Amino acid sequence: MKTVIVIDYGMSNLRSVTKALEHVAAHDWKVKVSNKADVLCHADKIVFPGQGAIGNCMTLLNQGGLADAIKQTLEDKPFLGICLGLQTLLTSSEESGGTTCFNWTSGTVRRFVEPIDELQNGERLKIPQMGWNQVQQTKFHPLWTGIPDNSWFYFVHSYYVDPIDNGVVLGTTQYCGIDFASVMARDNVFAVQFHPENSQQAGLTLLKNFLDW
């Protein structure tokens, strides 16, 4: 039996991610939630969901001993980051007065600037971005299998990733006049700004592709 671990660090809605993974998992997969470093290190695959402030997130990961385990899994296990699970992969974030992150790739997590005039669907854009938006696929990846380019996914975020290396960017999305990196990947790591567990068929397909990857 293969195991995919959903990381529990104390401030994320884990139920929807877990249920979505269970829905798409084949019979030889077991989905578990854990906050134990040794469990992460022995898992076959890792899912790192997240919501809330990144400062609190990194503090809890360090206090709970999970930060070092996550750094190790980023080196050697199939890893799916979701929302904050994407943002923590950069060097630092502007949020929470400045937060040091995992530095999996160099770059900064930046806050959207409130637009003055820009409208979307007849309504003025707001921060956070909360709702459906499209992802333009910039490179092929197995996790895109069966997902058409410019598919819609569900976003909830006030900050976006700005990596220095464009080579890690596999998808972009436009909001507040910015084409930001909404998907990053390299080697064993794939991470998204949107919430696949809340993105209907496209999101479920991506989760299944991750388990099959």
% of the chain beyond a pLDDT of 70:
97
Question: What confidence tens digit (pLDDT) does each residue in 173-213 have?
Answer: 999 989 999 999 999 999 999 999 999 999 999 999 999 99
Which entry of 95, 101, 157, 197 is annotated as an active-site residue?
197
% of the chain beyond a pLDDT of 90:
85
For residue 122, name the pLDDT band (cuts at 50, 70, 90): low
CA-CA distance, 109 to 2, in Å (whole number)?
Answer: 34
Decide if 197 is catalytic: yes
CA-CA distance, 195 to 40, in Å (whole number)?
Answer: 21
Decide if 141 is catalytic: no
Residue written as token pair 């992969």 = 89
CATH architecture of 2-212: 3-Layer(aba) Sandwich (3.40)
pLDDT of 29 higher than 80: yes
**H-assigned helices in the chain:** 14-24, 37-42, 54-63, 66-76, 84-87, 200-212
Decide if 157 is catalytic: no
Domain spans of the chain, in order of start: 2-212
